[in-house]
Structure 1
Amino acid sequence: MKLAVALAALFVLTPCAVAEEPVTVMVVGVFHMSNPGHDLHNVAADDVLAPKRQAEIAAATKALERFKPTMVAVEWPAAITATRYADYRAGTLAPSRNEVVQLGFRLAASSGLATVHGIDVDGEFPFEAVQAWAAAHGQGARLDALVAQGSTRMEAINATLAQGSVGATLRLLNQPEAIARDHDFYRVMLAFGGGKDQPGVALLTAWYDRNFRICANLVQAAKPGDRVVVFYGAGHAFLLRQCIAEMPGYRLVEANDFLPQ
């Protein structure tokens, strides 16, 4: 009984006792600028090293500087990020179309940051098992329709990039309502399975596991008062935003409050 009272007092007193500055985080969902083709749907990015795109990327990072970041986190493992950012600052990194370099390294350098935090982790995405179950249970057409919805979304993103700017494309990717709609695909995977055979559950669990491991890396690196910009593939934005929004001592801000039109 005494232990229960002590624990209750701890939970009541802790928020008052810890008067630390919040960690403010902006999650910027991005498209893969170097066209690796690793996702179900991929943006048809043109050459971001071309002068027009370089000017647009510079405008986007200049706008993000207004956030005054003290930390930048990116979708690469920690060791690779540290080595390549050191080379970037030294001017010895080979030209790269990757969004980590184009957005993350550029913003960190222009903000005077000595390091960039690579917070990525490997993860499984067992979509083939979902496809096999759907085909075996007469659900193939339903799954194909869900994938087609993603293709329609990708067409809109491709059109925005082709006809507009990098900044406009980033704004499209970072609309909160669009982020929520994009996450519907993962959640609907729960419909694909039955009894003890639950490939949709396995896929969704793997997706959540990877994203919250990523978020753990962020939380373990950030310090009270930090202002963090996270550059990650837009498909990760929903869960990373959720993790930050629900984390005590953290505050989520909208990327579109800073990205250029």
Structure 2
Amino acid sequence: GHRAAPALPGRRAAGAATMSRRLRALALLTAALLLAPLPALAEVQVMVLGSYHFANPGLDLHNAQVDDVLSTRRQAELVELIERLASFRPSMVAVEARADALPGRALPGYRRYLSGEGPPDRNEIEQIGYRLARRMGLDQVLGVDAPGEFPFAALQAFAARTGRAAELQRSVDEIGARTRAFEQRARSASVATLLRELNRPEAIRADHAWYVDALGYGAGSEQPGAELLGRWQARNTAICARLRQSVRPGDRVLLLFGAGHSHLLRQCVLEQSGWTLIEAEPYLR
């Protein structure tokens, strides 16, 4: 029989060296891939614009009575306001309206607004949200509101049983006093000025403080204050979830909601990876 010719020592050594170099190169490439940062998604910027309710739906403990936003004076102020907000260059406008059953959360009211159908609506969704979206050439406005409960009656009942009804009423009356003061300022101040006041950090904190103070109402397993705050937080978290599910990398979002929501919505924006909170106040000057 024939035996295979033995490999030459030099050739065997050269082959081993080549294999070793390839393995080292592969190891270095693998390490580089593992250590390389993942490609960053484009930053999402969100401006939370807290507003008073232009059309006053009467859903708050105290509701501000303001003059007609369709008046010549207010319409001129809104034209100026929209130009200020347009400098933020939003690519998305999201508002306090429910749209869970609508494709892409796009509000049909915006299409009607663009077509000029029907009488104008006085609420801030149309007067700010729709106007701004039209100014930016956007083809839709999104509704990201969520249902929620406000178990204030249970808080009142606990306060009454524990001799704290007057204390609770005083806290409600303080909200009323702030609302009346806002009404007084609204007689002479522009829409932009009023919104600037509502979006100051101290005003946002004051709006939220009432909910935090409610935690003082409770004993043992009965915690109506915690329940009220928890339901309020749950609604705002659900709003933020709807927003997160709607944005795309690189979006610049104007989120328009009643000012009482501002604290929790801002907090939620700050907690999202890759999101930046844009202060509204400088755009209202």
Q: Same fold (TM over 0.5)?
A: yes
> Separation in 2 of the partners of 1:146 and 1:198?
18
Task: Please state if 1:204 is matched with 2:229.
Answer: yes
Q: CA deviation at 1:152?
A: 2.1
2:214 to 172, 189, 200: 189
Count of paired positions: 248
> Separation in 2 of the partners of 1:198 and 1:95?
44
Aligned residue for 1:7? none
**What is the SS of the residue equivalent to 1:16?**
coil
Asked if structure 2 preserves the Cα contact closer than 8 Å seen for 1:23 and 1:249, the reply is: yes
**What is the SS of the residue equivalent to 1:17?**
coil
Instruction: Report the AA paired with residue 139 of structure 2.
Output: A
1:57 to 74, 78, 89: 78
Q: CA deviation at 1:16?
A: 3.5
Aligned residue for 1:67? 88
> Separation in 1 of the partners of 2:113 and 2:36?
41
**What is the SS of the residue equivalent to 1:221?**
coil
> Separation in 1 of the partners of 2:60 and 2:35?
43
The 5 A counterparts of 1:58-207 are 58-78=79-99, 79=102, 82-207=107-232
Superposed CA deviations along residues 192-235 of structure 1, whole A, max 9, x for unmatched, are 11111111111111000000000111111011110000110000
Q: CA deviation at 1:43?
A: 1.4
The 5 A counterparts of 1:226-241 are 226-241=251-266
Superposed CA deviations along residues 92-134 of structure 1, whole A, max 9, x for unmatched, are 1421101100000000000000010100111100001100100
Q: CA deviation at 1:136?
A: 0.6
1:27 to 32, 39, 48: 48
2:273 to 224, 233, 248: 248
Q: CA deviation at 1:155?
A: 2.2
- State the structure with more CA Rg: 2
Task: Please state if 1:220 is matched with 2:245.
Answer: yes
RMSD: 1.6
**What is the SS of the residue equivalent to 2:61?**
coil
Superposed CA deviations along residues 42-101 of structure 1, whole A, max 9, x for unmatched, are 111211011101111111111000000000000011238621111111111421101100
Asked if structure 2 preserves the Cα contact closer than 8 Å seen for 1:160 and 1:168, the reply is: no
Instruction: Report the AA paired with residue 240 of structure 1.
Output: L
TM-score, reference length from structure 2? 0.84
What percentage of aligned pairs have identical amino acids? Answer: 46
**What is the SS of the residue equivalent to 1:94?**
coil
Instruction: Report the AA paired with residue 33 of structure 1.
Output: F
Aligned residue for 2:28? none
Q: After the TM superposition, which segments of 4 or more aligned residues of structure 1 sit over 3 Å from their partners?
A: 13-16
Q: CA deviation at 1:160?
A: 1.8
Consecutive unaligned residues in structure 1, runs of 5 or more? 1-12
2:61 to 27, 32, 40: 40
> Separation in 2 of the partners of 1:109 and 1:41?
32
Aligned residue for 2:27? none
Aligned residue for 1:6? none
Q: CA deviation at 1:15?
A: 11
> Separation in 1 of the partners of 2:48 and 2:132?
14
**What is the SS of the residue equivalent to 1:258?**
helix
> Separation in 1 of the partners of 2:175 and 2:247?
33
Asked if structure 2 preserves the Cα contact closer than 8 Å seen for 1:74 and 1:118, the reply is: yes
Instruction: Report the AA paired with residue 40 of structure 2.
Output: A
Instruction: Report the AA paired with residue 89 of structure 1.
Output: L
